[in-house]
Amino acid sequence: MNRNRAVVIGGGLAGLSAAARLAKKGLDVTLLEKAPKLGGRAITIPLKGFAFNFGAHAIYSRDSSYIRKLEKELDLQIGWVDFDPAKARYDLGDELTEMPATLEGLFKTKVLSGSGKALFAIEVIKTICRLERGEEGVTIGEWLERSGKHEDVKDLMLTLASSNFFTKEPERIPSTVFFSYYQRLFQTSKAVSYIAGGWQSLVSELERVILESGSGIITKAKIERVVFDGNRVTGVETSDGVIEGDQFVFAIPPKELAKIFAGTPLEQPIAPYLLFRPNTILVYDIGLKKRIETPYTYIYDKKSRVFLTDISAYTDCTPPGGQLIQAVAYLRSEEAGNREYAAELKAAIEHLFDKHLPGWRDELAAQRYTERAAAQEIKMEDDQRLLPVKFHVTPNAYFAGDWVEGVGMLSELSFSSAYEAGSRILESIKRKQKEWMSERDAHIG
């Protein structure tokens, strides 16, 4: 049999992960990316000796993450640096307090009263044991009100959700999604980890696997349309011609999918996902030429829902003696794109810099400010739902990305959906091989 051909459209984390795994498994893979370089939104921008990541680059639940599966299967060389919860604090306005991320932190934190600490610990156990699962069609805010939980417990559950889901509206998270997420996170021993070298080191490793496996990567390849024969995809048309294949993974956002699938069997199935809102954040990074020593590497301002992370405490991303601080502010859907509000928020972040990094203005060497960055293409709120990995109408088209069904949130959705798409393709090929061998044996017999 000829070597199976897979075409992966999109060179972000999802596309790279799917392409690398399929290539490693022996498929002839062609990865197409419309931009000049790979990475999608997971890029590292060099500026004046600093390595600015486009958005956060933390990995949640590393010990059970799909990136760990990929790391082992593909022999990826990743330098991991684990977040230290002892160096993290909640800013309550007039004082800082421990994060309840460990038993010690839970005991010491002031975000919970004495009775609230015990009640929250019970909720953690109930979530791990799946005694709490939420309810379909009910948001976590509604669920908490119905359940009559202690006010401190409700507040902390929503505060945690705000930081893990990158949202200013945690009460709108579907309750089933909430409990599914925390059932896994509460059991992890590596709640938050960073990749040494930032996103670029991971992108480079996935690219290496693809090329060393004998597969190809084409950048500046804009897809004009998808070519069908009946209900099967046979190729994708670019300005340089049609790229043909047997299996296809589309790792590009819904709006781009709508354009290339217009007039095809997948036009209608994809249409509802165009109405969903993305999860948008404001990012403000500062590179300092001289390090300002502080006892904490992470501070979450509970009132404004803004967090500061000393990225340089975990990864090598600065010139000698420098420091890189990332601030991320969560936005409501209606706040995204409001320039006046963004200016107010930027001023509020600079106030936090003044408060926690005294003298930062004198040491400022580089900065990156983005008013409207997409943390996730489809925000998990209310009745919004993620795109399936595959639609039944088309047997050889699969989807991956942080807008596709999978495990976890944010980048973890990219890794898990890509892994699932790859697994389905490999299973499909295995079935066809068995059918071919059975037909051959029957013919010989």
Q: How many Å is the maximal CA-CA distance in the chain? A: 84
Instruction: Give the span between the Cα atoms of 172 and 243, in whole angstroms.
Output: 42
pTM for the full predicted model = 0.92
For residue 111, how many C-alpha atoms fall within 13 Å in the half-sphere facing its CB? 26
Residue 145, Cβ neighbours under 10 Å: how many?
13
The fold adopted by the segment(s) 5-40+199-276+383-435 is: FAD/NAD(P)-binding domain (3.50.50)
**Alpha-carbon dihedral sign for residues 424, 429, 430, 432:** positive
**Spatial separation of the C-alpha atoms in residues 443 and 445, rounded to whole Å:** 5
The number of helix segments (H) and strand segments (E) in the chain equals 13, 20
348-365 in b/e burial notation, b at 16+ Cβ within 10 A?
ebeebbeebbeebeebeb
DSSP state of 173: S
Q: What is the pLDDT of residue 2?
A: 59
| Overall CATH class of domain 98-189 | mainly alpha
Answer yes or no: are the C-beta atoms of 283 and 268 closer than 8 Å: no
Residues linked to residue 233 through DSSP beta bridges, in sequence order: 228
pLDDT value at position 60? 82
Mean pLDDT (10-residue bins), the chain, 445 residues: 85 97 97 94 88 77 87 93 88 89 78 86 92 94 92 90 91 95 85 84 95 97 96 94 96 96 96 95 95 93 91 90 94 90 94 95 95 92 96 96 94 96 95 77 67
**Are the beta carbons of 251 and 14 closer than 8 angstroms?**
yes
Work out the end-to-end distance of the chain between its first and last CA atoms, rounded to an integer number of angstroms: 20
Q: What is the pLDDT of residue 1?
A: 44
Burial of 210 (0-12, 13-18, 19+ CB in 10 A): buried
CB atoms within 10 A of CB 21: 26
pLDDT of 369: 92
Cα separation, 322 vs 290, in Å, equals 5
